[in-house]
Structures are given as C-alpha cells and as structure tokens.
Amino acid sequence: MQLPRIFTAMITPFTESGEVDYDEAARLAQWLVTHGSGGLILSGTTGESPALSDRERMNLLRTVRAHLGTEVPLWMGTGTNNTVHSRELSWEAAENGADGVLLVCPYYNKPPQEGLIRHFVEIATGLPVPVMLYNIPGRTSVNLLPASVRTITQECDNVIAIKEAAGSLPQLQELMTLVSPHVRVYSGDDAMYYMALTLGAYGVVSVASHLVGDDLASMTESMLHGDLDQARQMNTTLMPLFNELFRYTNPISVKWAVNYLGFHAGDVRLPLVTPHHDQAFEALRQLIDRLVPERVCSHAS
C-alpha cells in the first residue's frame, strides 16, 4: 500500500451549540487535501477523540468519505484504553469506509510492554484494514519501545506504520533500525519532522498542515531530492509556527487558527478550554499573517 507522506490529524469542527458540524468538516477536509495533505486522520487527538461519541465518530467518517470519494486516504483514530472497545471501533471504522485505523497507546492504565503488545495484536488480528500505531508518552504515560513495535509488526502484517511522538531522536533511530523497512515511520511532531527525515522517517502526521501543508509537502520533496539546505531553511522558517501551535494543549491553538483562516471550526469541547485574554493568540496570529497571507485573505470572513 502506497501511503501519503503528509497526513493531517484533522480537527473536528463544532457548531456554536457544540454539536459536530459535519458540513464544515467536509469543507475543511477538501481544503486540506487541496493544500498539501496526502491523507487525513479523523477522530485523533487533534480531532478531540476523547470528547466524541462513537456515533459522532462514525457520522464524521461517513460524511467526509462521501465528500472526498475514495481517492483520498482517510484513516480514523480508534484507539482507547479498552482493548475490546478499540477492536469494536476499528471494525466499525473499516465497515464505514476507513482506509486504515490509528491506534494510540492505552492511556491511564499504564500497561507494561507485554500488555501493550497483546493490546495491539488483539485489535489488529484479522482486521481488514491496515493499522498505524501511535506512541505519545506525554499523553498516555506509557512508552511503546522499539522492540515492542518490532514484535507487533512481526505478528501482524497489517500493522504497517507508526506515528512516533516520544520526542526522542535516539529512540526514533533505534525504531527505524529494528523494524522492517516496509513499516513506515511517521514523525508525530511537526517540530521534529525535519530531523526525523534526516534519520529516514517516511512522513509526518501533522497538526501544522492545517496552515502550511503545501510548505510541509515542499520540504518533504526537497529532502527526497537531496536538497537538504532548502529543506533546512524551510524548517527554520516554520519552526516558530510549530512551537506556537503547541503553546496550549493541542488542539486549542490550531482550532483557533483554523477559525482565523475563516472556517467555522467552533470552540474546543470541555474539559479543554480556550484562553480568552487579549494576547492569548497574538503571536500565532502574526505568524499566520506572515506565513500564509494568501490563505487568510481568501478564507477570512
């Protein structure tokens, strides 16, 4: 399976009353695909998966799939800290048109490595769509070690990718040394993407691609063609934006930014809250004005 280099972990738009805005989700999805995203992941962390019901997740998937058709890879976050529930969600996603599923490490439970392995193998075994593992210790309090990833991918040939967001370049390098070359390693952190590419990462599951997807695609192409200087310059230019998008807990900042672009993304759901003091997003606003002025102009209301 040919996977895209740039996946966007898409936000979930809400109406003013807090319901999922399916029409706006379809509009945003189309715009992202037009601006550098090779594929989309719905109902991930950036999509506020903990605050979505199972029904909302599936309605979102069906809506975006109907709008985009079958040409755009459309994956869905189905990982929870309940193995049986994760497996049920993954099968339901496959039945509703997902091209693959993203499985985050079980959070709060803090399972040992054996528990992580058995969790992922249980979900992936027999699943009719491919799987991307998602390691993000900062949110889950567990670190899926490279040796465990190797075991999982050896037992389940449909586990074909991992989104690595441990924040450790040595661990990333070890991961790519241990797993088969057929397992695609994605950076799960925009700020580490350039360095991940230099180590051989395949692509990125991005938040910043809501704003600078074309630039991320260009940076990737520069690296693939051996133009490290050009890629490094682009990374340096974009780094302040990468950092500013994570000033507050994701997806608070990127959701504000998507609204600033002119989409009707709504607010985040509780327990997340958006800061409302005057300078909360001033630095982000200035970066967007500087880096994506044509998009602001064409979509601002």
- List pLDDT tens digits, range 225-259: 999 999 999 999 999 999 999 999 999 999 999 99
Per the domain annotation, does 268 fall within a domain? no
Reading the block at residue 263, the tokens are: 């989409």
Instruction: With beta carbons less than 8 A apart as the criterion, state whether 74 and 42 touch.
Output: yes
Per the domain annotation, does 80 fall within a domain? yes
Residue 35's alpha-carbon distances to 29, 251, 267, 278, 282, in angstroms, are 10, 20, 23, 30, 24
Listed residue (33, 11, 85, 26) closest to 268, CA to CA: 11
Instruction: With beta carbons less than 8 A apart as the criterion, state whether 80 and 86 touch.
Output: yes
The dihedrals phi and psi of 191, each to the nearest 5 degrees, come to -70, -20
Which is the catalytic residue, given 163, 194, 248, 260? Answer: 163
When pLDDT is averaged across residues 272-301 and rounded to a whole number, the result is 80
Which is the catalytic residue, given 22, 134, 186, 202? Answer: 134
Please give the single-letter amino acid code of residue 209.
S
Cα 199 from Cα 16, distance rounded (Å)? 44
Identify whether 134 is a catalytic site residue.
yes
pLDDT tens digits, one per residue of 95-132: 999 999 999 999 999 999 999 999 999 999 999 999 99
Per the domain annotation, does 291 fall within a domain? no
Cα 87 from Cα 79, distance rounded (Å)? 8
Residue 36's alpha-carbon distances to 221, 293, 295, in angstroms, are 11, 16, 13
Q: Please return the burial class of 71, using the count of CB atoms within 10 Å of its CB with bins 0-12, 13-18 and 19+.
A: exposed
Q: Is the model's pLDDT at 14 over the cut of 90?
A: yes
Per the domain annotation, does 157 fall within a domain? yes
- Number of independent structural domains in the chain: 1
Q: Residue 143: what pLDDT? A: 98
Confidence of residue 297 (pLDDT cuts 50, 70, 90): very low
Please give the single-letter amino acid code of residue 294.
E
Per the domain annotation, does 221 fall within a domain? yes
Q: What's the CATH number where 177 sits?
A: 3.20.20.70
Q: Residue 179: what pLDDT? A: 96
Give the global pTM. 0.95
Q: Residue 299: what pLDDT? A: 43
The β-bridge partners of 292 are none
| % pLDDT > 70, the chain | 97
pLDDT tens digits, one per residue of 40-98: 999 999 999 999 999 999 999 999 999 999 999 999 999 999 999 999 999 999 999 99
Burial annotation 95-125 (CB, 10 A radius, 16+ → b, else e) = eebbbbbbbbbbbeeebeeeebbebbeebbe
Helix axes 54-68, 22-34, angle to 10 degrees: 50
pLDDT tens digits, one per residue of 139-165: 999 999 999 999 999 999 999 999 999
Range of the domain at 130: 6-227
Identify whether 110 is a catalytic site residue.
no
Q: Residue 53: what pLDDT? A: 97
Instruction: With beta carbons less than 8 A apart as the criterion, state whether 199 and 176 touch.
Output: yes
Per the domain annotation, does 38 fall within a domain? yes
Q: Is the model's pLDDT at 300 over the cut of 70?
A: no
Q: Is the model's pLDDT at 298 over the cut of 70?
A: no
pLDDT tens digits, one per residue of 170-215: 999 999 999 999 999 999 999 999 999 999 999 999 999 999 999 9
Q: Residue 239: what pLDDT? A: 98
Reading the block at residue 79, the tokens are: 């990982």
For 257-292, give the DSSP string: HHHHHT----PPPTT-----STTTTHHHHHHHHHH-
Confidence of residue 293 (pLDDT cuts 50, 70, 90): low
Per the domain annotation, does 244 fall within a domain? no
Cα 81 from Cα 270, distance rounded (Å)? 20
Per the domain annotation, does 290 fall within a domain? no
